[in-house]
Amino acid sequence: MAAGGLSRSERKAAERVRRLREEQQRERLRQVSRILRKAAAERSAEEGRLLAESEDLVTELQGRSRRREGLKRRQEEATSIPDYRGPNGVWTLLQKGRSVSAADLSEAEPTLTHMSIARLHEQKLVQHVVSQNCDGLHLRSGLPRTAISELHGNMYIEVCTACTPNREYVRVFDVTERTALHRHQTGRACHKCGAQLRDTIVHFGERGTLGQPLNWEAATQAASKADTILCLGSSLKVLKKYPRLWCMTKPPSRRPKLYIVNLQWTPKDDWAALKLHGKCDDVMQLLMDELGLEIPPYSRWQDPIFSLATPLRAGEEGSHSRKSLCRSREEPPPGDRGSPLSSAPVLGGWFGRGCAKRTKRKKVL
């Protein structure tokens, strides 16, 4: 007799019985699965009895089906919504030398959501905007620099890190043409000290250390004081890793209320006081109507980027080949390619953007 009281032959017999039961269970599972794929009207009486006798298997298979459908839906949604730093994002494709299927980035303009957010800031209903996007549309909407944290950089800004404090150069063209992961020099030099300029983009695998335009300090300060956080159009897959933005050191009862507007599932859905599966522009239009606030149209003539931009110096005109912004779509850039237009006073536009996390205080929703 072996340890445990069973002989070798008895153990082998028990193992055969166990395997037989497992095979019978798998066959039963396959049968039930085939029946469930049929429409109810097409099932025979015998198949109906088998389903009734297999409630546990039916429940298990239906749960698997719901999970598969949910995963498929989230993947489809994620594929249809362009991002910047994901596997098929704008910056990722550009780094690989592939063309971007979306419209030329220089043609992008602040959206209805951009305009709404900036108007809410004007009304002191929004205190700070935290953006994952690099398109510079928050800046171009008219939001003050102090109210924006562009955590992954701004495609229109290059900086000299040799100067103290860092010297910024706002351009009217995409400065990232020659840059990539761990390679940030733009090919132009600082007008003050002559050091090489670098872009401000934070790629996957990098840690953003620039003070501006990342503005981390202002983002965390705003988050610590906020009583409401509104997330618009962000998957939050990256932002979820920044606990300071969510006040995780505070007890749950003292954390800001979280509201999410997104077509996709996000890892923060279960934490949200409200999750709306909708388009940001649609939701913000309803919100602005409810608040009785007008959403002014965007005007390129009032775009702050033209007054903020630093002109290229003589000899730098050929340092890029990206299309330059124009005050009017019909107006060609004057002079050499890449030279910014003469600036004019910005009269003020109140614009916002629907693809970023926002930190807000009081009277929101």
The annotated binding site is made up of 160, 163, 190, 193
- The amino acid at residue 87 is P
275 phi, psi to nearest 5 deg:
-120, 125
CA dist., res. 214 & res. 150, Å (int):
5
152, 184, 203, 320: the active-site residue: 152
152 given a catalytic annotation: yes
- Taking the C-alpha atoms of residue 1 and residue 3, their distance in angstroms, rounded to an integer, is 7
Q: Which residue has the tokens 């988050």?
A: 223
Q: Which amino acid is at 178?
A: R
- CA distances for 192 relative to 160, 164, 178, 187, 195, angstroms: 9, 11, 22, 15, 8
Question: Measured between alpha carbons, how far is 119 from 226 in angstroms, rounded to an integer?
Answer: 18
Nearest-angstrom CA–CA distance, 116 and 287: 9
Let me know the angle formed at the C-alpha of 139 by 138 and 144, rounded to the nearest 5 degrees.
105
**Which helix or strand (DSSP H or E) is residue 219 part of?**
helix 216-225
In 3D, which of 11, 55, 7, 66 has the Cα closest to residue 32? 55
Are the C-beta atoms of 138 and 148 separated by less than 8 Å? yes
Residue ranges for the known binding site for Zn(2+) are: 160, 163, 190, 193
CA–CA gap between residue 236 and residue 52 (Å, rounded): 42
**CA separation for the pair 223, 20 (Å, rounded):** 59
List active site positions.
152
